[in-house]
Amino acid sequence: ADGTVEIPVVFNVIYNTSTQNVSDARLQSQIDILNQDYAGTNSNIGNTPAEFVPVKAGDTKIRFRLAKTVRKQSSVTSWNPDENKMKSATTGIAATSPDNYLNIWIVNNMTGGTLGYAYYPGTISAALDGVVLAAPYVGTGSGTSAPYNLGRTATHEVGHYLNLPHLWGSTDTGCQTDYSNDTPVSPGPNYGVPTYPLNRVCGGVSRSQIFMNYMDYVDDKAMCMFTANQKQRMQAVVAASGPRSGLRL
């Protein structure tokens, strides 16, 4: 009634060793983190600097519900993100109705130490649509790996899935638009736990960076917010007229 959309999530867990078979408790912790981050009720939301408080999204009116968990053992010890082999019934687990469920594949390990990846709406075949996460970065608690141990790789990747580019734009060159006017232009990713204010230059203009936004690359504990424009972009995706309208219950 208030326009909130609850996205049903299918976890496809493909593990090599049994410790990589992420527990139900951790999967639920990941759902809880997504719900807090997308509601703006995360415990560190108050870390938003006063400069950026006016552009905070608050509640994005997007929520997540654990619909189903599928598990499978595999002899593969490292997965190449470009191949999407974890999404095939023979080499992995086939997606469940990708138009109606957000499929999240969890693999033991990815080449290059990739934490996760996702596709923008309408850019990949339905069978390959969704989010992939490496197991150590799923949820929180025992078995997760600092500094990416607060479940925010999923928050970030679901942002991509809902049409949010990185703060520096969708190319690696940096200083490109992210289609949100309330995020300052950025030359590229920030890592670790930056100190505010952090000024960086694009086109000869220095701007205070919104590095605590979920669409940067900082440590999980250093991220805390989406902006109002980012909320607008995500809402447009799940709206009845949007490319992911099938996700509504």
List of residues contacting ligand ARG (CB under 6 A) = 114-117, 148, 152-153, 156, 217-220, 223
Q: Residue 115 binds which one of ligand ARG, Ca ion, none, with CB within 5 to 8 A depending on kind?
A: ligand ARG
- DSSP-derived secondary structure letter, 146: T
Residues 6+ apart with CB under 8 A from 3: 61, 235
Q: Where are the beta strands (DSSP E) in 82-176?
A: 102-107, 116-118, 131-134
Q: Can you tell me the distance from the alpha carbon of 230 to that of 215, in angstroms, rounded to the nearest whole number?
A: 10
Q: Is the Cβ of residue 5 or residue 64 nearer to ligand ARG in the bound state?
A: 64
Q: Minimum distance between the CB of residue 97 and ligand ARG, rounded to whole angstroms?
A: 25
Q: Is the Cβ of residue 5 or residue 158 nearer to ligand ARG in the bound state?
A: 158
Q: Which stretch binds Ca ion (CB under 5 A): 92-100, 151-159, 182-190, 205-213?
A: 182-190
Q: Is the Cβ of residue 180 or residue 190 nearer to ligand ARG in the bound state?
A: 190
Q: Is the Cβ of residue 15 or residue 117 nearer to ligand ARG in the bound state?
A: 117
Q: Is the dihedral of CA 167, 50, 148, 105 positive or negative?
A: negative
230 near Ca ion, rule: CB under 5 A = no
Among 37, 129, 157, 178, binds Ca ion (CB under 5 A): 178
Q: Minimum distance between the CB of residue 48 and Ca ion, rounded to whole angstroms?
A: 16
Q: Residue 55 binds which one of ligand ARG, Ca ion, none, with CB within 5 to 8 A depending on kind?
A: none
Task: Choose, from 6, 51, 83, 157, the residue flagged as catalytic.
Answer: 157
Q: Which residue has the tokens 């997504």?
A: 34
Q: Is the Cβ of residue 154 or residue 247 nearer to ligand ARG in the bound state?
A: 154
Q: Residue 220 binds which one of Ca ion, ligand ARG, none, with CB within 5 to 8 A depending on kind?
A: ligand ARG
Strands 131-134 and 205-208: unpaired
Active site residue 83: no
Q: Can you tell me the distance from the alpha carbon of 25 to that of 236, in angstroms, rounded to the nearest whole number?
A: 32
161 dihedral zone (left: phi>0; alpha: psi -120 to 50; beta): alpha
Residues 6+ apart with CB under 8 A from 239: 245
Among 42, 108, 140, 180, binds Ca ion (CB under 5 A): 180
Q: Can you tell me the distance from the alpha carbon of 95 to that of 99, in angstroms, rounded to the nearest whole number?
A: 10
Enumerate the active-site residues.
Answer: 157
